[in-house]
């Protein structure tokens, strides 16, 4: 598996496995199947309410702890310095591990940005204390990323953001790269275009299907190849065994430069996820249970 070197020297498997909306009852089996297939990076979050099951899936895989890269996220309700230190404790207890490979802030809180920064300071403390191997952020747009970079002691290793052919956030990707931050694509195969019922559905895209046919592959596999060849980490989610395997079977073909340009041109400018500026505690806050 190709690895991406983070800005602190830690390596991250470029292709990972997501579990957003994976029901707890299906998460253990999905994670176990993913690890058996070959994935070595699992991306979860306190807010997904399935960290316990992710931990169980990892244990059932029989792999040792250091063979699996575990990434999780602090939810906005746990922002603030002490609350974020406690959020780390809750997550590791649920996952059944002592240390995390990557801990990121799930969303900035634009209206409480000082509190967001306090949380990031807690991540820096956890990094210094060796409790996490790398730290990062998610859904930080250029303005708030710049404000974070102005005051942070540690440049985030990763910014996990929505990237699929219909919404690519090129300016933000460039800013990440210029600052040594790895872009990690969420909804990398455009899952959000299906489950949010957007006007265009990535899996049915004629352009992607035509490229896919030329390799005997699927639209999902073409999208994953596109991320990998552009150097982005991608974390597709599935609870369906055949799709878990399909999304990993992307290392035996290569898109041409022209095909990559054609996929780049599918940009619509339409975001699938919530506007990052609209994230408030009132609208999105919810208590993350104790371990």
Ligand X SMILES: NC(=O)c1ccc[n+]([C@@H]2O[C@H](COP(=O)([O-])OP(=O)(O)OC[C@H]3O[C@@H](n4cnc5c(N)ncnc54)[C@H](OP(=O)(O)O)[C@@H]3O)[C@@H](O)[C@H]2O)c1
Name the catalytic one among 39, 48, 120, 166: 48
Residue 108 as a binder of ligand X (CB under 6 A): the answer is no
Q: Please state, in angstroms and rounded to a whole number, the distance separating the CA atoms of residues 102 and 32.
A: 20
* Nearest residue relative to ligand X (C-beta): 191
Residue 160 as a binder of ligand X (CB under 6 A): the answer is yes
CB of 136 to ligand X, least distance (A): 10
Residue 247 as a binder of ligand X (CB under 6 A): the answer is yes
Please, which residue, 80 or 188, has the CB nearer to ligand X?
Answer: 188
Please, which residue, 158 or 175, has the CB nearer to ligand X?
Answer: 158
CB of 223 to ligand X, least distance (A): 8
Using an 8 Å Cβ cutoff, are 187 and 43 in contact?
no
Point out which span in 6-14, 118-126, 240-248, 262-270 binds ligand X (CB under 6 A). 240-248
Q: How would you classify the pairing of strands 41-43 and 69-74?
A: parallel
Q: Please state, in angstroms and rounded to a whole number, the distance separating the CA atoms of residues 32 and 60.
A: 6
Residue 180 tokens read as 């040594």
Q: What is the CA radius of gyration of the chain?
A: 18
Size of residue set near ligand X by CB under 6 A: 30
Segment holding 55, helix H or strand E: helix 51-61
Q: Please state, in angstroms and rounded to a whole number, the distance separating the CA atoms of residues 229 and 6.
A: 17
Please, which residue, 20 or 215, has the CB nearer to ligand X?
Answer: 20
Please, which residue, 108 or 190, has the CB nearer to ligand X?
Answer: 190
Residue 228 tokens read as 């990998």
* Three-state DSSP state, 45: coil
284 tagged catalytic: no
CB of 244 to ligand X, least distance (A): 8
Residue 128: Cβ-neighbour burial (10 angstroms; 0-12, 13-18, 19+)? exposed
- Residues known to be catalytic: 48
Contact residues for ligand X, defined by CB under 6 A: 18-20, 43, 106, 138-139, 160, 186-192, 194-195, 203, 218, 220, 235-240, 243, 246-247, 273
């Amino acid at each position: 598996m190709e690895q991406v070197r983070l800005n602190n020297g830690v390596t991250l498997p470029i292709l990972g496995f997501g579990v957003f909306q994976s029901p707890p009852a299906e998460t253990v089996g999905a994670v176990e199947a993913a690890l058996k297939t070959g994935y070595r990076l699992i991306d979860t979050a306190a807010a997904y309410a399935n960290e316990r099951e992710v931990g169980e899936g990892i244990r059932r895989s029989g792999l040792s702890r250091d063979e699996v890269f575990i990434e999780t996220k602090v939810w906005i309700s746990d922002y603030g310095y002490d609350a974020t230190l406690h959020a780390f404790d809750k997550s590791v207890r649920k996952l059944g591990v002592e240390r995390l490979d990557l801990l990121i802030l799930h969303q900035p809180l634009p209206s409480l940005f000082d509190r967001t920064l306090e949380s990031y300071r807690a991540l820096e403390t956890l990094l210094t204390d060796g409790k996490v191997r790398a730290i990062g952020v998610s859904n930080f747009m250029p303005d708030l990323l710049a404000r974070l970079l102005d005051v942070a002691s540690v440049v985030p290793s990763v910014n996990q953001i929505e990237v699929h052919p219909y919404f690519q956030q090129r300016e933000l990707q460039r800013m990440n790269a210029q600052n040594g931050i790895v872009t990690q694509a969420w909804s990398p195969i455009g899952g959000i275009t299906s489950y949010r019922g957007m006007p265009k559905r990535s899996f049915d895209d004629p352009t992607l299907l035509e490229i896919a046919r030329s390799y005997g592959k699927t639209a999902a596999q073409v999208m994953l190849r596109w991320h990998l060849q552009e150097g982005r980490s991608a974390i597709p989610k599935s609870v369906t065994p055949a799709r878990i395997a399909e999304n990993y079977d992307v290392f035996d073909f290569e898109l041409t430069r022209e095909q990559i340009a054609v996929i780049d041109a599918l940009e619509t400018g339409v975001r699938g996820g919530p506007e990052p500026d609209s994230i408030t505690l009132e609208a999105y806050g919810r208590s993350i249970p104790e371990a």
